[in-house]
Structure 1
Amino acid sequence: MEVIKGKSVFGGIVIGKIAFYKKSNEKIKRYKVDKPEEEVTRFDNAKQTALLQLDELYKKALTEVGEANAAIVQVHQMMIEDLDYLDSIKNIILTQGVNAEYAVGVTGDNFSQMFSTMEDEYMKERAADVLDISNRIVRVLNKEEDGRFKLTEPVIIAADDLAPSETIQLDKNMVLSFITRQGSTNSHTAILARTMNIPAVIGIGEELKQEYDGKYAIIDGFTGTIYIEPEENVLKEMEVKKKQDEEKKILLQKLRGQENITIDGKKINIYANIGNSTDIGAVLKNDAGGIGLFRSEFLYLEKDTFPTEDEQFAIYKYVAESMAGKKVIIRTLDIGADKQVGYFDLPLEENPALGYRAIRICLTVKDIFKTQLRALYRASAYGNIAIMFPMITSLEEVKEIKEIIQEVKAELAETGIDFKDNLELGIMIETPAAVMISDLLAKEVDFFSIGTNDLTQYTLAIDRQNPKLDKFYNPHHPAILRMIQLTADNAHKNGKWIGICGELAGDLSLTETFLKMGIDELSVSPGLVLGLRNKVRESDVSKILKNW
């Protein structure tokens, strides 16, 4: 038996056979062509076929991992249409008089190298994406299959790394687990594994050997441990752990309809985070008390141009009606940083996390902001909608937002359109600046929701997208916990409620800490709702010691 370790991405026990993901490694040959113009045409046709393949992949992703994660495929579609990328390929074909496969391969390598040397971590991640789309086009040119890894039995997929498109293409019913040599816990593939509820261990390094292909293994997704050809006693121990995990999931279903109340009588709201209306089924299935974060930017990410007021209204209305009076908190457009939308034509920035993003865009390009606000207020007549604004750093920003809202309400009233006048308005607490003036901000809004991902990033001065910084990224840092406590105290002093909608909301090791702090609401992925409810019901706040 051999034991190797990596980083846990999603918990669970898996027992099965390892299958190494096989990629096409055939070397691209360079040869001269008599008619370069015809080779350009051949490339254009291959590009269109690749786009059709990606469109099919996008539809598959919608049904399996939801609209928010399917947006990853759309990044590939946009990159294939990038003019610099296309011009480079055609220029190589025409000036060198060579075959399209070679031109695509060289361009892919050149662009990948360019991205990988950039300082910005978001742009670094595009290095793998440009290789992925280039390989896809080359396969089309060579009349190969679309690159889908064929599986005939359920297996543990092992790989150096997996591109998002490769992950989505896999037959979910045939994948027991992912294990990879490389990868960050914040990578697209890690996010997809969590969304697909597939146990995964990443960052194993060279200890994950090719010779393990076909060998029997156990994956402990809770601890990030992999047992190769396990001994009998380990197998029995893991089978018991697997059975206990499965029984726990069944027991959690019995918590549907139960209150989120501690042993000593403290209640808390447990809501769900969603990326689009297609996630509503999961929210209802897991009995969430409402929606604590609707990431409205995904309505923009999935479009080729700005979504209209009517398009947005229809989606907000559907979600509000489907939730049947339960609260639906919709965050206004939060793009920029690692969420880029091509048609916004945002400039490249050396440090986009500190740049032109979220509310800063909305308060600069006010027509876009007002269109969204009109749609939200129109939809408010059909349910219990609240609006939340991201990346707030000053009192002036909140006051300007409220002035724009008054303009929007006046326009709607003048045209006789129904809306609720007294919607709850809240802000995201994501910056140290917002924490330090939370006593002042609380006087201007109805609630706070803490975005712990960005709050941790900005407080610790750590790029959360950078895998090299994983060991320094500590969301349990006392500074973060003290900031949450300070914000909660200031909210309650002013009679306002406070929630948490970042990743920490689903961290069960902090649930009791949040209860002790007086947090009023926790919003998590739909699949985590019942587990969080169970943790709350097992807790006794009167016995929890303050330790931050």
Structure 2
Amino acid sequence: MVERMESESRKLLGRLRDAMASDVAGQARLDKITHLIADSMGTEVCSVYLFRDDETLELCATEGLDQAAVHQTRMRLGEGLVGRVAKTGKTMNTPDAPAEKGFRYMPETGEERYSSFLGIPIQRLGEKLGVLVVQSHDARVYTADETYALEVVAMVIAEMTELGAFVGEGAALSARHQQPVVFKGTTAQEGAAEGHVWLHEPRVVVTNPIADDPQKELERLKEAVEQLRVGVDKMLDMSRSGDSEQLQVLEAYRMFANSKGWMRRMEEDISRGLSAEAAVEKEQSLARARIGQVTDSYLRERLSDLDDLSNRLLRILTGQGRETGADLPPDPILIARNIGPAELLEYGRSLRGVVLEDGSVGSHAAIVARALAIPLIVHAGRIATEALNGDHIMVDGDQGVVHLRPDDSVVTAFRDKIAMQAEAQQRYASIRDTPAVTRCGNRIELNMNAGLMADLPSLQGSGAEGVGLFRTELQFLIRNQMPKRMELAELYARVLDSAHGKRVVFRTLDIGSDKVLPYMKPNDEPNPALGWRAIRVGLDKPGVMRMQLQALIRAANGRPLTIMFPFVAQFEEYRQARKEVDKAIAREVKLGHVLPETLEVGAMLETPSLAFAPEQFFREVEFLSIGGNDLKQFFFAADRENERVRRRYDTLNVSFLSLIEKIVERCARTDTPLSFCGEDAGRPIEAMCLAAIGLRSLSMRPASIGPVKSLLLRCNLEEVRKVIIDARHRGEQSVRPAVMEYLREQA
């Protein structure tokens, strides 16, 4: 029976191949396919529904229903049985369709009340394209072999749709990857950029979904799988002396590469008429569909491993692989599902911008993008599926919007915005060396944030007075193993050399939360932002902290050194960390090494609890830096990675400004130097208000220094402070409206 079905499946796929190759219009080709399927399966009806937009399905071809309904009958995602199949991405096989919940009778199609219904999702690598349906008068459940055969056919239809085999009139049959598309994501790094798409992992195009010679395809598959296994074994051999976590990942790779079940399923797909590439992609699509339904993080990772192996196998079969960074266009904007910091650094400053389907605001990639001063948008829908290499693209990092293949009106407006920004940058360059002194005579110190050697040239070019935050974790994140103390000391020494005597505040290792070292065992925590991170890791793993402190002391080599501990939540944590510094100094004395000329040890105030620490803490700590990003999310209980809640709360909220004002007052009483570090420091309106309530040192990305200084030079902080106090007395939730009105009056 199975052999007969395999023969019928191959026969049907052969006829489909002929239909695909025929020189007829897209609609005629699709009509012919529905006829072939109905005839082959002995059903009264075969219909193909394709998406005309993200929420609407359209009847695009049918055998057995009224032809006048084609391109006229539409349904919403989830509506009727067809809509349910489209929404869930799962096959529906029922002998009594009218009795099913949600059944919708469509009289406009001239359909009779067919009993049996088999609906198969048409999808490709997780992208939903439509639904393939067969119906019969007889009340019967379609057999497993019939269902399997139709799934194979649906997969081929998906490939043909991707290749443009059905392009014709109407939105549902419009050419794919040619229409303008707008993606709304989350801003991870501000800025605007125009360029052309460069896919980090370009989609493999399967041009031959149907096999001419199944035996030859089986041999091609076996050869490719063997090549894959050899490659994985080589990676394992090279990593034997490395970290155990990396070995575990590669062992999982090898397990899948040697999986008999995976191989057997692909061989069955080929025996039913698919090419080797199509068989691999069919199993990959099923794996991706399962990823979306699995909540267990371990299982998701393993399915992702299988997804990655499938990509490797497809590149071997098609020869469509390539090295990262090769043949980049002159104005590349990188598109990827996700990317690691080391991979992003390989591209370097050649990129105009980066857009990710996944990622996060605080991810490793976001930190590197900020260091490279390139716009970054994360959570950008299905852009890696929709974009093609070479597509025209515009990235608005300020609004978190991506315009793919934009129309002329969008291009004109966007270029006007870029031109205005360029003009503003020229104005900012003219005040680069001017101190930020307000009209009321207050001087505000403007520092820059950094994390890579590539950042340091901006110290001179931006007019920054120093480095208010140097993130040391990047040197740990971009490696596959723990860096050596000597390597870190050499790097930190080069940072101090490049600063040419300006103050550099080195923040100790801030890992955990969304920054997990590749060679460190991840912890599955329900809320990692509130979990084992930053100084908590350092105090629990003192060996790593000591090694980094020794590297910093040796890098100073007699020069001034400033060290800051992140995420301090209570006084005792700072005291313990400070003791580690004293121990490191004592050890260097014993070894006869040169000590820093001066040593400042401070903390980041990122939790509300530290604002209410004992007075003695403020007297003992040598300086404080408010970490605005974390402090705001904890103050408002709003995860800054959650787009639904993070924008609800304003930095200029009266309550939040009151907390910062309290910190300013406590530091003033104890004569503790205080600065503010974070995204809000680099926003001119927010920076002006922070200065108005008493902050005299701000640290931001280099590109923000010019805009912030420009506004500070024109403002009177005493007047702004009065506006803030008046808004508070009126009981306003945020001072922003009042401040904006004041600025309009001053213009």
| TM range, smaller chain | 0.7 to 0.9
Kindly indicate whether the alpha-carbon contact (under 8 Å) linking 1:104 and 1:137 is maintained by their aligned counterparts in 2. Answer: no
Kindly indicate whether the alpha-carbon contact (under 8 Å) linking 1:19 and 1:155 is maintained by their aligned counterparts in 2. Answer: no
Kindly indicate whether the alpha-carbon contact (under 8 Å) linking 2:196 and 2:329 is maintained by their aligned counterparts in 1. Answer: no
Kindly indicate whether the alpha-carbon contact (under 8 Å) linking 1:7 and 1:185 is maintained by their aligned counterparts in 2. Answer: no
Q: Deviations over 1:26-76 (max 9, x none)?
A: 37999996899976641134458999xxxxxxxxxxxxxxxxxxxxxxxxx
Name the CA distance, whole Å, in 1 between partners of 2:478 and 2:263: 36
Q: Deviations over 1:456-502 (max 9, x none)?
A: 22222233223444444644444432222221221121101111222
Residue 236 of structure 1 deviates from its aligned partner by 7.1
Please say which of residues 99-108 and 379-388 is displaced more in the overlay: 99-108
Name the CA distance, whole Å, in 2 between partners of 1:207 and 1:466: 20
* Equivalent residues, number: 519
Q: 2:632 — aligned with what?
A: 456
Residue 400 of structure 1 deviates from its aligned partner by 1.3
Q: 1:164 — aligned with what?
A: 339
Q: SS in structure 1 opposite 2:519?
A: helix
Q: SS in structure 1 opposite 2:681?
A: helix
Amino acid of the residue matched to residue 372 of structure 1?
Q
Q: 1:525 — aligned with what?
A: 701
In the superposition, relative to structure 1, how do residues 479 and 79 fare at CA in structure 2: closer, same or farther (>3 Å)? farther
In the superposition, relative to structure 1, how do residues 524 and 253 fare at CA in structure 2: closer, same or farther (>3 Å)? same
1:43 to 228, 237, 246: 228
Q: 1:515 — aligned with what?
A: 691
Q: Is 2:486 the counterpart of 1:310?
A: yes
Q: Is 2:526 the counterpart of 1:350?
A: yes
2:256 to 88, 92, 98: 88
Name the CA distance, whole Å, in 2 between partners of 1:48 and 1:442: 56
Kindly indicate whether the alpha-carbon contact (under 8 Å) linking 1:260 and 1:268 is maintained by their aligned counterparts in 2. Answer: yes
Name the CA distance, whole Å, in 2 between partners of 1:525 and 1:408: 31
Residue 329 of structure 1 deviates from its aligned partner by 0.4
Q: Deviations over 1:147-173 (max 9, x none)?
A: 8899997789798x7543798898987
In the superposition, relative to structure 1, how do residues 13 and 416 fare at CA in structure 2: closer, same or farther (>3 Å)? closer
Fraction of identical pairs, as percent: 25
Q: 2:668 — aligned with what?
A: 492
1:371 to 547, 553, 557: 547
Name the CA distance, whole Å, in 2 between partners of 1:472 and 1:278: 35
Q: 2:464 — aligned with what?
A: 288
Kindly indicate whether the alpha-carbon contact (under 8 Å) linking 1:426 and 1:448 is maintained by their aligned counterparts in 2. Answer: yes
1:23 to 203, 223, 226: 203
Kindly indicate whether the alpha-carbon contact (under 8 Å) linking 2:601 and 2:622 is maintained by their aligned counterparts in 1. Answer: yes
Residue 241 of structure 1 deviates from its aligned partner by 4.5
Please say which of residues 177-186 and 83-92 is displaced more in the overlay: 177-186
Q: Is 2:568 the counterpart of 1:388?
A: no
Residue 417 of structure 1 deviates from its aligned partner by 0.8
In the superposition, relative to structure 1, how do residues 375 and 202 fare at CA in structure 2: closer, same or farther (>3 Å)? closer
Alpha-carbon RMSD across the aligned residues, in angstroms, is 4.9
Residue 317 of structure 1 deviates from its aligned partner by 1.3
Kindly indicate whether the alpha-carbon contact (under 8 Å) linking 2:444 and 2:696 is maintained by their aligned counterparts in 1. Answer: yes
In the superposition, relative to structure 1, how do residues 320 and 109 fare at CA in structure 2: closer, same or farther (>3 Å)? farther
Q: 1:71 — aligned with what?
A: none
Please say which of residues 490-499 and 421-430 is displaced more in the overlay: 421-430
Amino acid of the residue matched to residue 524 of structure 1?
M
1:506 to 682, 700, 705: 682
Kindly indicate whether the alpha-carbon contact (under 8 Å) linking 1:216 and 1:228 is maintained by their aligned counterparts in 2. Answer: yes
Name the CA distance, whole Å, in 1 between partners of 2:483 and 2:500: 25
If the length of structure 2 is used for normalisation, what is the TM-score? 0.58
Q: SS in structure 2 opposite 1:378?
A: helix
Residue 506 of structure 1 deviates from its aligned partner by 1.0
Name the CA distance, whole Å, in 2 between partners of 1:5 and 1:321: 43
Amino acid of the residue matched to residue 43 of structure 1?
L
Residue 239 of structure 1 deviates from its aligned partner by 5.7
In the superposition, relative to structure 1, how do residues 49 and 289 fare at CA in structure 2: closer, same or farther (>3 Å)? farther
Q: Deviations over 1:174-198 (max 9, x none)?
A: x877788988766777777666655
Kindly indicate whether the alpha-carbon contact (under 8 Å) linking 1:331 and 1:387 is maintained by their aligned counterparts in 2. Answer: yes
Name the CA distance, whole Å, in 1 between partners of 2:514 and 2:479: 17
Kindly indicate whether the alpha-carbon contact (under 8 Å) linking 1:4 and 1:207 is maintained by their aligned counterparts in 2. Answer: no
Q: What aligned pairs does 1:91-490 form with structure 2 within 5 A after superposition?
A: 91-92=259-260, 96=264, 106=283, 110=287, 113-114=290-291, 117-118=294-295, 131=307, 134-136=310-312, 138-146=314-322, 162-164=337-339, 222=398, 229-230=407-408, 241-420=417-596, 422-437=598-613, 439-472=615-648, 474-490=650-666
Q: SS in structure 2 opposite 1:464?
A: coil
In the superposition, relative to structure 1, how do residues 371 and 107 fare at CA in structure 2: closer, same or farther (>3 Å)? farther
Residue 429 of structure 1 deviates from its aligned partner by 0.7
Residue 135 of structure 1 deviates from its aligned partner by 2.5
In the superposition, relative to structure 1, how do residues 140 and 229 fare at CA in structure 2: closer, same or farther (>3 Å)? same
Kindly indicate whether the alpha-carbon contact (under 8 Å) linking 2:561 and 2:598 is maintained by their aligned counterparts in 1. Answer: no
Q: Deviations over 1:340-372 (max 9, x none)?
A: 113232433232222221111111121211111
Amino acid of the residue matched to residue 90 of structure 1?
N
Kindly indicate whether the alpha-carbon contact (under 8 Å) linking 1:89 and 1:104 is maintained by their aligned counterparts in 2. Answer: no
If the length of structure 1 is used for normalisation, what is the TM-score? 0.76
In the superposition, relative to structure 1, how do residues 137 and 535 fare at CA in structure 2: closer, same or farther (>3 Å)? farther
Kindly indicate whether the alpha-carbon contact (under 8 Å) linking 1:394 and 1:434 is maintained by their aligned counterparts in 2. Answer: yes
Kindly indicate whether the alpha-carbon contact (under 8 Å) linking 1:89 and 1:107 is maintained by their aligned counterparts in 2. Answer: no
Q: SS in structure 2 opposite 1:522?
A: strand
Q: 1:72 — aligned with what?
A: none
Amino acid of the residue matched to residue 255 of structure 2?
D
In the superposition, relative to structure 1, how do residues 19 and 228 fare at CA in structure 2: closer, same or farther (>3 Å)? farther
Q: SS in structure 2 opposite 1:350?
A: coil
Residue 247 of structure 1 deviates from its aligned partner by 1.4
Please say which of residues 325-334 and 301-310 is displaced more in the overlay: 301-310
Kindly indicate whether the alpha-carbon contact (under 8 Å) linking 1:262 and 1:537 is maintained by their aligned counterparts in 2. Answer: yes
Name the CA distance, whole Å, in 2 between partners of 1:398 and 1:47: 45
Which structure 2 segments of 5+ residues have no match? 1-179, 237-244, 268-275, 728-734, 736-747
Q: 1:67 — aligned with what?
A: none
Residue 209 of structure 1 deviates from its aligned partner by 13
Q: 2:52 — aligned with what?
A: none
Residue 420 of structure 1 deviates from its aligned partner by 2.3
Kindly indicate whether the alpha-carbon contact (under 8 Å) linking 1:379 and 1:419 is maintained by their aligned counterparts in 2. Answer: no
Kindly indicate whether the alpha-carbon contact (under 8 Å) linking 1:270 and 1:529 is maintained by their aligned counterparts in 2. Answer: yes
Structure with the larger RCO, 1 or 2 (CA within 8 Å, 6+ apart): 1
Name the CA distance, whole Å, in 2 between partners of 1:290 and 1:28: 63
Name the CA distance, whole Å, in 2 between partners of 1:374 and 1:28: 63
Q: SS in structure 1 opposite 2:624?
A: strand
Name the CA distance, whole Å, in 2 between partners of 1:470 and 1:454: 12
Kindly indicate whether the alpha-carbon contact (under 8 Å) linking 1:112 and 1:126 is maintained by their aligned counterparts in 2. Answer: no
Amino acid of the residue matched to residue 311 of structure 2?
N
Q: SS in structure 2 opposite 1:499?
A: strand
Kindly indicate whether the alpha-carbon contact (under 8 Å) linking 2:371 and 2:455 is maintained by their aligned counterparts in 1. Answer: no
Kindly indicate whether the alpha-carbon contact (under 8 Å) linking 1:393 and 1:431 is maintained by their aligned counterparts in 2. Answer: yes
Residue 536 of structure 1 deviates from its aligned partner by 2.1
Q: SS in structure 1 opposite 2:561?
A: strand
Name the CA distance, whole Å, in 1 between partners of 2:253 and 2:719: 61
Name the CA distance, whole Å, in 1 between partners of 2:262 and 2:383: 45
Kindly indicate whether the alpha-carbon contact (under 8 Å) linking 1:158 and 1:179 is maintained by their aligned counterparts in 2. Answer: yes
Name the CA distance, whole Å, in 2 between partners of 1:125 and 1:514: 43
Q: SS in structure 2 opposite 1:390?
A: strand
Q: SS in structure 1 opposite 2:675?
A: strand
